[in-house]
């Protein structure tokens, strides 16, 4: 099986991390080599010390892209979950990595504000956080992503299936049609809850 990078992009609160975690768990259960790089975890490890200026954000996304490139060329499915608001840098990573599937978690800003799992929109709207994507900093929507998730209209299961179907369609993998066990499903829910997504 050849490696590929699944690049999840979307506003904070759009549901990209939730769907990515379920995709990760399903692929893992099927025995695939898969790693997940979540924006929050990257920020505290790989990109510690970087701020939120455009330059620092671009550097952060390039670093994630570099790791994804290494994983992908070693036949691993790399799942990157980053807001990555700027098209130019997403395209830079696409060119660098090659086997690249862009997954756009599309969700209205109103719904994201309503969900606000980490309380970031509340702080941004109160002026406590500056240059917050979707409030006072732009988010450049993907023009032609391989996968479009409408996370304010679809269930997590429907969005997950879209991603898996696309991977099969592009011949990156064959997924066995098996359901996740209830025990595995509980583990996923616990993990998402601990991360603040449920």
pLDDT in tens, 65-87: 999 999 999 999 999 999 999 99
Q: Which CATH architecture has domain 4-108+140-187?
A: 3-Layer(aba) Sandwich (3.40)
- Asked whether residue 179 carries a pLDDT value surpassing 70, the answer given is no
Q: CB under 8 Å, gap of 24 or more: what pairs does 119-123 form?
A: 120/12, 120/13, 121/12, 121/13
pLDDT in tens, 105-139: 999 999 999 998 788 888 888 888 888 888 888 89
Q: Can you give the pLDDT at residue 187?
A: 73
Cβ(103)–Cβ(145) below 8 Å: yes
Q: Phi/psi of residue 68, each to 5°?
A: -60, -40
Q: Can you give the pLDDT at residue 176?
A: 55
DSSP three-state, residue 95:
helix
Tokens of 79: 């799942």
In this prediction the pTM is 0.84
Domain parsing of the chain, residue ranges: 4-108+140-187
Contacts of 191 (CB under 8 A, 6+ apart): 21
Q: Phi/psi of residue 151, each to 5°?
A: -75, -10
Catalogue the active-site residues.
84
């Amino acid at each position: 099986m050849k490696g590929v990078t699944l690049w999840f992009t979307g506003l904070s609160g759009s549901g990209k991390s939730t769907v990515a975690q379920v995709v990760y768990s399903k692929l893992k259960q099927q025995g695939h080599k898969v790693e997940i790089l979540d924006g929050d975890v990257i920020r505290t490890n790989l990109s510690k010390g970087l701020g939120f200026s455009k330059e620092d954000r671009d550097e952060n996304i390039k670093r994630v892209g570099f790791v994804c490139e290494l994983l992908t060329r070693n036949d691993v499915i790399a799942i990157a979950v980053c807001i990555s608001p700027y098209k130019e840098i997403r395209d830079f990573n696409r060119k660098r990595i090659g086997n690249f599937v862009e997954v756009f978690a599309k969700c209205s800003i109103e719904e994201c504000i309503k969900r606000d799992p980490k309380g970031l929109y509340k702080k941004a709207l109160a002026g406590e956080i500056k240059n917050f994507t979707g409030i006072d900093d732009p988010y450049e929507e993907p023009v032609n992503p391989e996968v479009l998730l409408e996370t304010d209209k679809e269930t997590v299961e429907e969005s997950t299936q879209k991603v898996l179907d696309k991977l099969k369609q592009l011949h990156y993998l064959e997924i066995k049609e098996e359901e996740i066990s209830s025990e595995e499903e509980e583990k996923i829910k616990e993990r998402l809850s601990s991360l603040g997504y449920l």
